[in-house]
Structure 1
Amino acid sequence: MYKVLAYITAYCDESAVKKCIAGIFKQTYAVNKIFVVDNSPKPLNILEPETGLVVIKSHPENIGISGGLVKAVDFGLQNNYDFLWMFDQDSIPTSDCLSQLVATFDSYTYTRNVRVGIVAPVPLDMRTEQVIMPAEFRNDHFKAFAKTSFDSPCFCDAPITSGSLLRLSATTTVAPPDSRLFIDGIDLDFGLRLRQKGFHNIFVPGAILHHNFATPVKFNFWGVKKILQRYSALRYYYICRNHTYLEFKNSQGFYKLTCIYRRLKVLLMKTLSILLVEPNKKFAKIWACFCGTYYGFRGNLDRQFDQSIKRALKK
């Protein structure tokens, strides 16, 4: 059996983290240890570390999802783990999720001779019955797979981080997750960089992860049912900044121009969405989107800008 380290990014939600830990321990394919980075200002009472099965590292300064992943990858490599199974705190895997991922890894690695980087489950939001599809990079933008049924595993550029099983030996050939991205777009960046190094990331229909994605809002628009998501102003900033940065950075030649057009179009649609579904702080959230898009085009991921904007939004 492989040596598997599970990892959870925790932040101010003790109940969610405990449910995630319980789901990991219920797997039919056992993990060896759980590594938790607790970014909460006040440490959560998650589990007694003396059990030996859970390692908890407190970072009240908040190093984000990306910073936590860097530490988890380092811990996994230093302790000779084969895989890092990555989780957001609001995710719960079904009991056979890990066994499905491992079986798919074995099938593609040893039967088909494929260099596998990540094996990912289907993230299902039970509140909306939406599946969060993996992404492909197409010339100037990341595009989610169309909502179609899959009968067998398929290749993608970037599945979402939560629930994904990362082959740790693959991380020695690429730079670690970019800690400057903080909380958004880490999956797009790292997954695509693995693909560019010749690894394949695989989406596995038989493996299911229950995952809460933002705050969904359902409504009818001219007779058509729509679901949009609500976020904090700072999260809007990170979404716009990081996605703009990653898409513009990976676009080449003429596609740099089309990327600019697409990102400005996204900015317009975000503005309209905020006006439509956000109940408060509309201007702050729109301003966060504009600032994020601007710094994304500049390629400036220095967190001091994030902090200055955060202070401005609190006024």
Structure 2
Amino acid sequence: MFLIKKSTCVVVVTYNRKELLKENISALVNQTCSIDKILVVNNCSTDGTDKLLNDLSKKYNNLEAYNMEKNIGGAGGFNQGLKIAYASNCDYIWIMDDDTIPEPDALENLLGKVSLNELENWSFLCSNVVWKDNKACLMNIPEVTHDWNYMLKFGLTKLKSTSFVSLLIKRQDIEKVGYPISQFFIWGDDVEYTKRLATLAPGYLVTDSVVTHKMNQNCDVNIVSEEKSRVDRYFYEYRNKSYTSRKSGLSSYVNYLNYVIKSITKVIIRKNDSKIKKVKVILQGFIKGIFFNPKIEFPEDI
């Protein structure tokens, strides 16, 4: 009996992190499990990323670069990347940011779980994301289910949602759930998308698939301690969370309302700069979120 080899492509979204992208691509081409295509979506970087990708695409024949004419945000980048990946007809799509550095066997360990007899069905598999010090990366803590340890003896933790930092999905599932929402721009597109996928079948964290997320600091998003120049971007967090929580039901939206109230309270009572600006951004995101109802695209719409 002959086994049909499944093909895999990687989608990497990059913006002005040329050196980390170079390290990311090096880690991808040196995986113990071969990758059929490496698709890099360049979000109109201004640091010479386009030249780097041009040079690397000559060196690696499985690398394809797609240079956007403007920065469409991480959400827009992943939306475009998955459209390109879907058109490539690869069976599996491995998704990540440019500052994600996979261990050499990260993909092999993800794909190894696909053939596990006990894993009858799955919608996504993700890696264990650590920071540069090998501790958990706080921005990429997944949301576990109430029966999270159901498959733990097989090295799998059952999840409700997770991030796009090393996420493996099946091409065929895009036909059922569509693409990530480009209108999110940044923040929450990964959580919304993996929640959507989880309506098809459970998602799992694969404990022995490890990647390093080389963020500057190992910290979760926190508008209270954020510097003034980066406060405006939090609009997307509060707007997008409103949409995701509304879609998840009443209790989820109540939790979101509590989160908004607590955020404003913390900004007011704790020592930090730009309090008025931060409260304004939270309220703007909250109000816009009430009416935010983006359209989900499907392959047949394209």
Question: What range describes the TM-score normalised by the shorter chain of this pair?
Answer: 0.7 to 0.9
Determine which of 277, 283, 286 is the counterpart of 2:276.
283
**Alpha-carbon displacement from aligned partner over 1:63-84 (angstroms, at most 9, x marks no partner):** 2222222222222222221111
Aligned partners of 1:215 and 1:230 also within 8 Å: no
Determine which of 143, 163, 175 is the counterpart of 1:135.
143
Query: 1:120 aligns to what?
Result: 126
Q: Where is the strand percentage greater, Structure 1 or Structure 2?
A: 1
Question: CA shift at 1:137, angstroms?
Answer: 7.7
Percent identity over paired residues: 19
Aligned partners of 2:225 and 2:272 also within 8 Å: no
Determine which of 185, 210, 213 is the counterpart of 2:212.
210
Residues 278 and 97 from structure 1, CA distance in 2 versus in 1: closer, same or farther, beyond 3 angstroms? farther
Question: What is the TM-score of this pair, normalised by structure 2?
Answer: 0.80
Question: CA shift at 1:23, angstroms?
Answer: 1.5
- C-alpha separation in 1, matches of 2:286 and 2:275: 17
**Alpha-carbon displacement from aligned partner over 1:91-146 (angstroms, at most 9, x marks no partner):** 11111110100001111xxx1362222111111123582343322589xxxxxx89
2:100 pairs with 1:91: yes
Query: 2:109 aligns to what?
Result: 100
Query: 1:271 aligns to what?
Result: 264
Residues 97 and 184 from structure 1, CA distance in 2 versus in 1: closer, same or farther, beyond 3 angstroms? same
- C-alpha separation in 2, matches of 1:278 and 1:91: 33
Aligned partners of 1:39 and 1:61 also within 8 Å: yes
Question: What is the TM-score of this pair, normalised by structure 1?
Answer: 0.77
Query: 1:141 aligns to what?
Result: none
Question: CA shift at 1:301, angstroms?
Answer: 5.3
Structure 1: 5+ residue stretches without partners = 139-144, 219-227, 303-315
2:242 pairs with 1:236: no
Query: 1:306 aligns to what?
Result: none
2:166 pairs with 1:160: no
Aligned partners of 2:144 and 2:158 also within 8 Å: no
Aligned partners of 2:100 and 2:214 also within 8 Å: yes
Query: 2:300 aligns to what?
Result: none
Query: Given residue 96 of structure 2, which amino acid in structure 1 is its aligned partner?
Result: F
Query: 1:50 aligns to what?
Result: 58
- C-alpha separation in 1, matches of 2:160 and 2:248: 13
Residues 169 and 229 from structure 1, CA distance in 2 versus in 1: closer, same or farther, beyond 3 angstroms? farther
- C-alpha separation in 2, matches of 1:248 and 1:67: 22
**Alpha-carbon displacement from aligned partner over 1:270-301 (angstroms, at most 9, x marks no partner):** 33555688965443333222211221122255
Query: 1:175 aligns to what?
Result: 178
Q: Secondary structure at the residue paired with 1:46?
A: helix
Query: Given residue 114 of structure 1, which amino acid in structure 2 is its aligned partner?
Result: E
Aligned partners of 1:160 and 1:187 also within 8 Å: yes
Question: CA shift at 1:163, angstroms?
Answer: 0.5
2:252 pairs with 1:248: no
Residues 217 and 37 from structure 1, CA distance in 2 versus in 1: closer, same or farther, beyond 3 angstroms? closer
Q: Which runs of 4+ in 1 moved over 3 A?
A: 212-218, 228-231, 258-261, 271-283
CA RMSD between the two structures: 3.0
Aligned residues: 276
Query: 1:192 aligns to what?
Result: 195
Query: Given residue 112 of structure 1, which amino acid in structure 2 is its aligned partner?
Result: E
Query: Given residue 73 of structure 1, which amino acid in structure 2 is its aligned partner?
Result: L
Query: Given residue 249 of structure 1, which amino acid in structure 2 is its aligned partner?
Result: K
